Structure 1
Amino acid sequence: MATFNKGILGGFSGKVGTVVGANWRGKDIMRSLPKPSQKEPTEKQLLQQEKFKLAVAFLQPLKTIQSQYFGSSSGVKSRVNLATSYTINEAIEVLKGVPELMYNKVLITRGELTGFQNAILSTQAGGVLDLEWEDNSTQGNASATDQVSLVAYCKELKDFQIFEGIVMRSDLMVSVTLPNFCIGKSVEVWAFLNNEKQTFASNSFYLGEHTVL
Protein backbone atom coordinates (compact mmCIF):
# COMPACT_ATOMS: atom_id res chain seq x y z
CA MET A 1 0.00 0.00 0.00
CA ALA A 2 1.27 3.50 -0.82
CA THR A 3 0.09 7.04 -0.14
CA PHE A 4 0.27 9.79 -2.71
CA ASN A 5 -0.18 13.54 -2.82
CA LYS A 6 -2.86 15.02 -5.03
CA GLY A 7 -1.61 15.62 -8.56
CA ILE A 8 -3.36 17.34 -11.39
CA LEU A 9 -6.15 14.77 -11.26
CA GLY A 10 -6.46 14.63 -7.48
CA GLY A 11 -7.24 11.52 -5.48
CA PHE A 12 -9.38 8.75 -6.89
CA SER A 13 -11.36 5.77 -5.71
CA GLY A 14 -12.01 2.48 -7.42
CA LYS A 15 -10.01 0.36 -9.83
CA VAL A 16 -7.70 1.82 -12.44
CA GLY A 17 -5.70 -0.75 -14.35
CA THR A 18 -3.97 -2.99 -11.83
CA VAL A 19 -4.34 -0.67 -8.83
CA VAL A 20 -7.15 0.40 -6.53
CA GLY A 21 -7.43 3.94 -5.17
CA ALA A 22 -9.20 4.90 -1.93
CA ASN A 23 -9.25 7.47 0.82
CA TRP A 24 -8.31 6.07 4.24
CA ARG A 25 -8.41 8.32 7.30
CA GLY A 26 -7.98 11.42 5.17
CA LYS A 27 -5.09 10.04 3.11
CA ASP A 28 -5.20 9.03 -0.55
CA ILE A 29 -3.84 5.52 -0.92
CA MET A 30 -3.17 3.08 -3.74
CA ARG A 31 -2.83 -0.67 -3.49
CA SER A 32 -2.45 -3.46 -6.00
CA LEU A 33 -5.42 -5.61 -6.91
CA PRO A 34 -5.62 -8.70 -4.70
CA LYS A 35 -4.89 -11.98 -6.41
CA PRO A 36 -7.88 -14.29 -6.59
CA SER A 37 -7.67 -17.11 -4.08
CA GLN A 38 -7.18 -20.59 -5.49
CA LYS A 39 -8.56 -22.20 -2.31
CA GLU A 40 -12.12 -23.43 -2.05
CA PRO A 41 -14.01 -21.49 0.64
CA THR A 42 -14.66 -23.38 3.87
CA GLU A 43 -18.18 -24.09 5.16
CA LYS A 44 -17.67 -21.38 7.76
CA GLN A 45 -16.67 -18.87 5.07
CA LEU A 46 -19.64 -19.81 2.90
CA LEU A 47 -21.99 -19.41 5.85
CA GLN A 48 -20.53 -15.98 6.63
CA GLN A 49 -21.02 -14.97 2.98
CA GLU A 50 -24.67 -16.02 3.19
CA LYS A 51 -25.16 -14.01 6.39
CA PHE A 52 -23.57 -10.99 4.73
CA LYS A 53 -25.82 -11.28 1.65
CA LEU A 54 -28.90 -11.62 3.84
CA ALA A 55 -28.00 -8.58 5.93
CA VAL A 56 -27.12 -6.36 2.95
CA ALA A 57 -30.27 -7.27 1.01
CA PHE A 58 -32.50 -6.64 4.03
CA LEU A 59 -30.87 -3.34 5.00
CA GLN A 60 -30.59 -1.81 1.51
CA PRO A 61 -33.94 0.08 1.68
CA LEU A 62 -32.88 1.47 5.08
CA LYS A 63 -29.58 2.87 3.85
CA THR A 64 -30.65 6.53 3.94
CA ILE A 65 -31.99 6.26 7.49
CA GLN A 66 -29.03 4.30 8.81
CA SER A 67 -26.46 6.58 7.19
CA GLN A 68 -27.92 9.31 9.39
CA TYR A 69 -29.09 7.49 12.51
CA PHE A 70 -26.98 4.43 13.25
CA GLY A 71 -24.35 5.20 15.87
CA SER A 72 -21.38 7.35 14.92
CA SER A 73 -18.94 6.90 12.06
CA SER A 74 -15.80 5.32 13.47
CA GLY A 75 -12.50 5.39 11.56
CA VAL A 76 -13.09 3.88 8.13
CA LYS A 77 -16.45 2.36 9.15
CA SER A 78 -19.51 4.29 8.03
CA ARG A 79 -22.82 4.14 9.88
CA VAL A 80 -24.09 1.79 7.16
CA ASN A 81 -21.09 -0.47 7.79
CA LEU A 82 -21.89 -0.43 11.51
CA ALA A 83 -25.52 -1.35 10.83
CA THR A 84 -24.45 -4.25 8.62
CA SER A 85 -21.95 -5.54 11.20
CA TYR A 86 -24.52 -5.30 13.97
CA THR A 87 -27.14 -7.18 11.94
CA ILE A 88 -24.74 -9.98 11.01
CA ASN A 89 -23.40 -10.42 14.54
CA GLU A 90 -26.51 -9.77 16.64
CA ALA A 91 -29.66 -10.18 14.55
CA ILE A 92 -28.99 -13.27 12.43
CA GLU A 93 -29.13 -16.83 13.75
CA VAL A 94 -28.38 -20.03 11.89
CA LEU A 95 -31.31 -22.46 11.99
CA LYS A 96 -30.68 -25.90 10.48
CA GLY A 97 -27.73 -24.50 8.57
CA VAL A 98 -29.68 -21.55 7.12
CA PRO A 99 -29.15 -17.93 8.28
CA GLU A 100 -32.39 -16.31 9.46
CA LEU A 101 -33.13 -12.76 10.60
CA MET A 102 -34.32 -12.42 14.19
CA TYR A 103 -36.60 -9.42 13.77
CA ASN A 104 -36.89 -8.76 17.51
CA LYS A 105 -33.13 -8.16 17.55
CA VAL A 106 -32.98 -5.98 14.42
CA LEU A 107 -32.13 -2.31 14.96
CA ILE A 108 -33.31 0.18 12.38
CA THR A 109 -31.59 3.04 14.22
CA ARG A 110 -29.08 3.14 17.06
CA GLY A 111 -28.44 6.19 19.19
CA GLU A 112 -28.43 7.95 22.53
CA LEU A 113 -31.81 9.70 22.38
CA THR A 114 -34.29 8.58 25.06
CA GLY A 115 -36.67 6.09 23.48
CA PHE A 116 -40.36 5.33 23.83
CA GLN A 117 -42.15 4.62 27.09
CA ASN A 118 -44.73 1.81 26.98
CA ALA A 119 -45.28 1.94 23.22
CA ILE A 120 -48.09 -0.34 21.99
CA LEU A 121 -49.12 -1.07 18.40
CA SER A 122 -52.60 -2.21 17.34
CA THR A 123 -54.15 -2.91 13.93
CA GLN A 124 -57.40 -1.66 12.44
CA ALA A 125 -59.31 -2.60 9.28
CA GLY A 126 -58.13 -1.03 6.04
CA GLY A 127 -54.42 -1.54 6.67
CA VAL A 128 -54.27 0.90 9.58
CA LEU A 129 -51.56 0.68 12.24
CA ASP A 130 -52.19 2.60 15.47
CA LEU A 131 -49.26 3.41 17.74
CA GLU A 132 -49.65 4.83 21.24
CA TRP A 133 -47.07 5.66 23.91
CA GLU A 134 -46.75 7.51 27.21
CA ASP A 135 -45.28 10.96 27.68
CA ASN A 136 -41.64 10.84 28.79
CA SER A 137 -40.55 14.14 27.25
CA THR A 138 -38.95 15.25 30.53
CA GLN A 139 -36.75 12.16 30.89
CA GLY A 140 -33.07 12.16 29.99
CA ASN A 141 -32.39 14.02 26.76
CA ALA A 142 -35.94 13.60 25.45
CA SER A 143 -37.89 16.57 24.11
CA ALA A 144 -41.57 17.08 23.32
CA THR A 145 -40.57 18.01 19.76
CA ASP A 146 -38.71 14.77 19.00
CA GLN A 147 -40.00 13.25 15.78
CA VAL A 148 -41.63 9.82 15.54
CA SER A 149 -41.05 7.43 12.62
CA LEU A 150 -42.56 4.03 11.89
CA VAL A 151 -41.12 1.21 9.77
CA ALA A 152 -43.09 -1.87 8.63
CA TYR A 153 -41.55 -4.83 6.78
CA CYS A 154 -43.43 -7.63 5.02
CA LYS A 155 -41.15 -10.66 4.75
CA GLU A 156 -43.42 -12.39 2.22
CA LEU A 157 -43.25 -9.43 -0.17
CA LYS A 158 -39.76 -8.26 0.87
CA ASP A 159 -41.31 -4.81 1.12
CA PHE A 160 -40.60 -1.91 3.47
CA GLN A 161 -43.12 0.82 4.23
CA ILE A 162 -41.39 3.76 5.92
CA PHE A 163 -43.14 6.71 7.56
CA GLU A 164 -40.61 9.32 8.71
CA GLY A 165 -41.19 12.27 11.03
CA ILE A 166 -44.95 11.83 11.06
CA VAL A 167 -45.73 13.26 14.53
CA MET A 168 -43.90 14.49 17.63
CA ARG A 169 -43.20 12.70 20.90
CA SER A 170 -45.75 14.94 22.64
CA ASP A 171 -48.59 13.73 20.37
CA LEU A 172 -48.65 10.35 22.18
CA MET A 173 -50.31 8.56 19.25
CA VAL A 174 -50.15 8.16 15.49
CA SER A 175 -51.98 6.21 12.79
CA VAL A 176 -50.55 5.16 9.44
CA THR A 177 -52.17 3.28 6.56
CA LEU A 178 -50.33 0.55 4.68
CA PRO A 179 -50.97 -0.07 0.96
CA ASN A 180 -53.78 -2.45 0.03
CA PHE A 181 -51.30 -5.10 -1.11
CA CYS A 182 -50.23 -5.51 2.53
CA ILE A 183 -53.73 -6.46 3.72
CA GLY A 184 -53.83 -10.06 4.92
CA LYS A 185 -50.04 -10.20 5.17
CA SER A 186 -47.86 -10.27 8.28
CA VAL A 187 -45.56 -7.33 8.94
CA GLU A 188 -42.75 -6.70 11.39
CA VAL A 189 -42.93 -3.20 12.84
CA TRP A 190 -40.43 -0.86 14.49
CA ALA A 191 -40.60 2.77 15.62
CA PHE A 192 -37.86 5.26 16.44
CA LEU A 193 -37.45 8.85 17.55
CA ASN A 194 -35.02 11.50 16.33
CA ASN A 195 -34.40 14.98 17.64
CA GLU A 196 -35.88 18.01 15.88
CA LYS A 197 -32.52 18.96 14.35
CA GLN A 198 -32.22 15.44 12.92
CA THR A 199 -28.73 14.98 14.30
CA PHE A 200 -29.27 11.82 16.35
CA ALA A 201 -31.91 9.22 17.19
CA SER A 202 -33.00 6.61 19.70
CA ASN A 203 -32.50 2.90 19.40
CA SER A 204 -35.41 1.66 17.33
CA PHE A 205 -38.14 -0.14 19.28
CA TYR A 206 -39.48 -3.46 18.01
CA LEU A 207 -43.28 -3.50 18.11
CA GLY A 208 -43.78 -7.11 17.07
CA GLU A 209 -45.28 -9.06 14.19
CA HIS A 210 -48.83 -8.10 13.17
CA THR A 211 -51.35 -9.25 10.60
CA VAL A 212 -52.57 -6.35 8.48
CA LEU A 213 -56.39 -6.21 8.52
Structure 2
Amino acid sequence: MARITKGILGGFSGKVGTVVGANWRGQDIIRSIPKPNSRPPSERQLVQQTKFKLVISFLQPVKSIQAKYFGSGSGSRSRVNLAVSYTISEAVQMVGDVAELMYNKVLITKGDLTGFQNVTATPQAGNGISLNWEDNSAQGNVDATDLASVICYCEELESFEIFESVAERNVLTAGLTLPATYAGKEIQLWMFFHNAKKTLACNSAYLGSLTLI
Protein backbone atom coordinates (compact mmCIF):
# COMPACT_ATOMS: atom_id res chain seq x y z
CA MET A 1 0.00 0.00 0.00
CA ALA A 2 1.32 3.47 -0.91
CA ARG A 3 0.94 6.66 1.11
CA ILE A 4 0.70 10.02 -0.68
CA THR A 5 2.55 12.62 1.38
CA LYS A 6 2.08 15.87 -0.58
CA GLY A 7 -1.26 15.60 -2.30
CA ILE A 8 -2.15 13.92 -5.55
CA LEU A 9 0.83 15.43 -7.38
CA GLY A 10 3.30 15.01 -4.53
CA GLY A 11 5.66 12.25 -3.53
CA PHE A 12 4.47 8.99 -2.06
CA SER A 13 5.95 6.11 -0.14
CA GLY A 14 5.18 2.47 -0.72
CA LYS A 15 4.23 0.27 -3.64
CA VAL A 16 1.72 1.06 -6.36
CA GLY A 17 1.40 -1.57 -9.07
CA THR A 18 4.83 -1.97 -10.63
CA VAL A 19 6.46 1.09 -9.03
CA VAL A 20 7.74 2.03 -5.57
CA GLY A 21 7.82 5.56 -4.15
CA ALA A 22 10.31 6.74 -1.54
CA ASN A 23 12.13 9.78 -0.22
CA TRP A 24 15.89 9.45 -0.65
CA ARG A 25 18.45 12.09 0.34
CA GLY A 26 15.62 14.64 0.61
CA GLN A 27 14.13 13.93 -2.81
CA ASP A 28 10.93 12.13 -3.74
CA ILE A 29 11.70 9.32 -6.17
CA ILE A 30 9.76 6.63 -7.99
CA ARG A 31 11.43 3.49 -9.22
CA SER A 32 10.22 0.35 -10.90
CA ILE A 33 10.10 -2.91 -9.02
CA PRO A 34 13.04 -5.04 -10.18
CA LYS A 35 12.10 -8.12 -12.15
CA PRO A 36 13.01 -11.47 -10.61
CA ASN A 37 16.19 -12.90 -12.06
CA SER A 38 16.42 -16.67 -12.09
CA ARG A 39 19.90 -16.74 -13.59
CA PRO A 40 22.67 -17.70 -11.15
CA PRO A 41 25.24 -14.94 -10.50
CA SER A 42 28.41 -14.97 -12.58
CA GLU A 43 31.82 -15.58 -11.04
CA ARG A 44 32.58 -11.88 -11.26
CA GLN A 45 29.32 -11.02 -9.51
CA LEU A 46 30.09 -13.50 -6.75
CA VAL A 47 33.52 -11.93 -6.24
CA GLN A 48 31.99 -8.46 -6.00
CA GLN A 49 29.36 -9.69 -3.55
CA THR A 50 32.09 -11.24 -1.39
CA LYS A 51 34.12 -8.02 -1.41
CA PHE A 52 31.05 -5.89 -0.71
CA LYS A 53 30.02 -7.99 2.29
CA LEU A 54 33.53 -7.80 3.78
CA VAL A 55 33.85 -4.03 3.27
CA ILE A 56 30.41 -3.14 4.60
CA SER A 57 31.03 -5.17 7.75
CA PHE A 58 34.52 -3.71 8.26
CA LEU A 59 33.57 -0.05 7.72
CA GLN A 60 30.34 -0.03 9.72
CA PRO A 61 31.97 1.07 13.02
CA VAL A 62 33.66 4.06 11.33
CA LYS A 63 30.64 5.04 9.24
CA SER A 64 29.95 8.21 11.25
CA ILE A 65 33.55 9.38 10.73
CA GLN A 66 33.46 8.72 7.00
CA ALA A 67 30.10 10.48 6.69
CA LYS A 68 31.93 13.67 7.70
CA TYR A 69 35.46 13.17 6.42
CA PHE A 70 35.62 10.99 3.32
CA GLY A 71 35.89 12.99 0.11
CA SER A 72 33.06 15.24 -0.94
CA GLY A 73 29.61 13.68 -1.20
CA SER A 74 27.61 15.00 -4.11
CA GLY A 75 24.65 13.99 -6.21
CA SER A 76 23.56 10.43 -5.51
CA ARG A 77 26.87 9.39 -3.92
CA SER A 78 27.33 10.08 -0.24
CA ARG A 79 30.70 10.13 1.49
CA VAL A 80 29.95 6.69 2.91
CA ASN A 81 29.22 5.42 -0.63
CA LEU A 82 32.59 6.82 -1.76
CA ALA A 83 34.39 5.13 1.14
CA VAL A 84 32.84 1.77 0.33
CA SER A 85 33.59 2.10 -3.38
CA TYR A 86 37.21 3.11 -2.73
CA THR A 87 37.82 0.27 -0.28
CA ILE A 88 36.36 -2.37 -2.60
CA SER A 89 38.39 -1.23 -5.60
CA GLU A 90 41.68 -0.32 -3.89
CA ALA A 91 42.00 -2.13 -0.57
CA VAL A 92 40.63 -5.66 -1.06
CA GLN A 93 42.36 -8.63 -2.67
CA MET A 94 41.10 -12.11 -3.39
CA VAL A 95 43.09 -15.05 -2.03
CA GLY A 96 41.40 -17.98 -3.69
CA ASP A 97 37.74 -17.52 -2.89
CA VAL A 98 38.42 -15.41 0.19
CA ALA A 99 38.34 -11.60 0.20
CA GLU A 100 41.05 -10.00 2.35
CA LEU A 101 41.63 -6.40 3.34
CA MET A 102 44.97 -4.79 2.54
CA TYR A 103 45.21 -2.61 5.62
CA ASN A 104 48.04 -0.48 4.26
CA LYS A 105 45.70 0.70 1.49
CA VAL A 106 42.64 1.33 3.66
CA LEU A 107 41.67 4.99 4.07
CA ILE A 108 39.51 5.91 7.04
CA THR A 109 39.34 9.54 5.93
CA LYS A 110 40.09 11.25 2.64
CA GLY A 111 40.46 14.99 2.29
CA ASP A 112 42.54 18.03 1.42
CA LEU A 113 43.88 18.98 4.85
CA THR A 114 47.65 18.60 5.17
CA GLY A 115 48.43 15.38 7.03
CA PHE A 116 51.17 14.13 9.33
CA GLN A 117 54.93 14.40 8.95
CA ASN A 118 56.88 11.35 10.12
CA VAL A 119 54.28 10.02 12.54
CA THR A 120 55.24 6.97 14.61
CA ALA A 121 53.47 4.63 17.02
CA THR A 122 55.19 2.68 19.82
CA PRO A 123 53.52 0.15 22.17
CA GLN A 124 53.74 0.91 25.88
CA ALA A 125 53.20 -1.32 28.92
CA GLY A 126 49.59 -1.75 29.98
CA ASN A 127 48.03 -1.77 26.49
CA GLY A 128 49.27 1.74 25.82
CA ILE A 129 50.40 3.38 22.58
CA SER A 130 52.68 6.40 22.33
CA LEU A 131 52.23 8.52 19.20
CA ASN A 132 54.67 11.15 17.95
CA TRP A 133 54.90 13.34 14.87
CA GLU A 134 57.01 16.22 13.60
CA ASP A 135 56.03 19.86 13.35
CA ASN A 136 54.82 20.76 9.84
CA SER A 137 53.05 23.97 10.78
CA ALA A 138 54.53 25.79 7.80
CA GLN A 139 53.00 23.44 5.25
CA GLY A 140 49.83 23.83 3.19
CA ASN A 141 46.60 24.59 5.02
CA VAL A 142 47.86 23.51 8.45
CA ASP A 143 46.50 25.05 11.63
CA ALA A 144 48.01 24.51 15.07
CA THR A 145 44.53 23.69 16.42
CA ASP A 146 43.95 20.77 14.00
CA LEU A 147 42.97 17.73 16.05
CA ALA A 148 44.40 14.22 15.79
CA SER A 149 42.20 11.13 16.03
CA VAL A 150 43.27 7.48 16.23
CA ILE A 151 41.56 4.37 14.85
CA CYS A 152 42.60 0.94 16.18
CA TYR A 153 41.36 -2.34 14.72
CA CYS A 154 41.98 -5.87 15.99
CA GLU A 155 41.28 -8.50 13.36
CA GLU A 156 41.30 -11.32 15.93
CA LEU A 157 38.57 -9.62 17.97
CA GLU A 158 36.88 -8.08 14.91
CA SER A 159 36.69 -4.92 16.96
CA PHE A 160 37.52 -1.21 16.65
CA GLU A 161 38.61 1.26 19.30
CA ILE A 162 38.22 4.89 18.24
CA PHE A 163 39.95 7.77 20.00
CA GLU A 164 38.75 11.12 18.71
CA SER A 165 40.50 14.47 19.16
CA VAL A 166 43.31 13.14 21.34
CA ALA A 167 45.70 16.07 20.76
CA GLU A 168 46.18 19.27 18.80
CA ARG A 169 48.63 19.23 15.90
CA ASN A 170 51.18 21.51 17.60
CA VAL A 171 51.46 19.23 20.67
CA LEU A 172 53.36 16.68 18.51
CA THR A 173 52.56 13.74 20.79
CA ALA A 174 49.67 11.77 22.21
CA GLY A 175 49.13 8.68 24.33
CA LEU A 176 46.23 6.27 24.59
CA THR A 177 45.31 3.08 26.40
CA LEU A 178 43.20 0.25 25.00
CA PRO A 179 40.90 -1.97 27.10
CA ALA A 180 42.32 -5.05 28.82
CA THR A 181 40.72 -7.34 26.22
CA TYR A 182 43.36 -6.13 23.74
CA ALA A 183 46.31 -7.27 25.85
CA GLY A 184 48.88 -9.06 23.69
CA LYS A 185 46.76 -8.60 20.56
CA GLU A 186 47.94 -7.36 17.18
CA ILE A 187 46.18 -4.21 16.05
CA GLN A 188 46.09 -2.13 12.90
CA LEU A 189 46.48 1.60 13.42
CA TRP A 190 45.40 4.73 11.52
CA MET A 191 45.51 8.43 12.41
CA PHE A 192 44.03 11.52 10.85
CA PHE A 193 43.76 15.25 11.46
CA HIS A 194 40.58 17.29 11.14
CA ASN A 195 40.26 21.02 11.57
CA ALA A 196 38.70 22.61 14.65
CA LYS A 197 35.49 23.38 12.73
CA LYS A 198 35.14 19.70 11.75
CA THR A 199 34.71 20.63 8.10
CA LEU A 200 37.98 19.26 6.67
CA ALA A 201 40.25 16.28 7.22
CA CYS A 202 43.43 14.82 5.76
CA ASN A 203 43.94 11.42 4.19
CA SER A 204 44.31 9.04 7.09
CA ALA A 205 47.82 7.75 7.73
CA TYR A 206 48.30 4.00 8.18
CA LEU A 207 50.84 3.44 10.95
CA GLY A 208 51.15 -0.30 10.46
CA SER A 209 50.43 -3.18 12.82
CA LEU A 210 51.76 -3.46 16.34
CA THR A 211 51.36 -5.90 19.21
CA LEU A 212 50.23 -4.49 22.55
CA ILE A 213 52.25 -5.25 25.69
TM-score under structure 2 length normalisation:
0.92
Whichever residue aligns with residue 145 of structure 2, its letter is: T
SS in 1 for 2:131: strand
Map 1:62-81; keep pairs closer than 5 Å: 62-81=62-81
CA distance in 2, matches of 1:170, 1:163: 18
Matches within 5 A, 1:22-171: 22-23=22-23, 27-171=27-171
Is the CA contact (8 Å cut-off) linking 2:135 and 2:170 kept in structure 1?
Answer: yes
- The answer as to whether partners of 1:121 and 1:207 remain within 8 angstroms in 2 is yes
Given residue 203 of structure 1, which amino acid in structure 2 is its aligned partner? N
Q: Does 1:16 align with 2:26?
A: no
Gaps of 5+ in 1: none
Which residue identity is paired with 2:178?
Answer: L
- Report the Cα distance in structure 2 between the residues aligned to 1:26 and 1:34, rounded to whole angstroms: 23
Q: Give the C-alpha shift of residue 31 in structure 1.
A: 1.7
Hey, what's the Cα distance between the residues in 2 that align with 1:130 and 1:12? Answer: 54
- Structure 1 moving runs of 4+ over 6 Å: none
Separation (CA, whole Å) in 2 of partners of 1:7 and 1:145: 50
Q: Deviations over 1:16-73 (max 9, x none)?
A: 3553224568652212210121100011111110000000000000010000000001
Matched letter for residue 134 of structure 2 = E
CA contact (8 A) 1:21 1:30 kept: yes
SS at match of 1:202: coil
Q: Report the identity percentage.
A: 57
In the alignment, is the contact (CA less than 8 A) between 1:189 and 1:207 conserved in 2? Answer: yes
Conserved? CA contact 2:6–2:12, under 8 Å? no
* 2:200 aligned counterpart, secondary structure: coil
Name the CA distance, whole Å, in 1 between partners of 2:181 and 2:152. 13
Letter in 2 for 1:150: V
- Note closer, same or farther for the CA distance 1:48–1:163 as it changes in structure 2 (3 Å cut): same
Assess if the C-alpha contact under 8 Å between 2:5 and 2:12 holds in 1.
no
RMSD: 2.0
- How far does the alpha carbon of each residue in 1:89-121 deviate from its partner, in whole angstroms, 9 at most, with x for none? 000011123110000000000000000000000
Contact 1:24 1:76 in 2 (8 A): no
Taking the aligned partners of 1:93 and 1:29, their CA distance within structure 2 comes to: 36
1:16 partner letter? K
Which residue identity is paired with 2:81? N
SS in 2 for 1:184: coil
8 A contact 1:5–1:28 mirrored in 2? no
Corresponding position: 1:194 with 2:194: yes
Summarize the Cα distance change of 1:12–1:195 in structure 2 as closer, same or farther, 3 Å threshold: farther
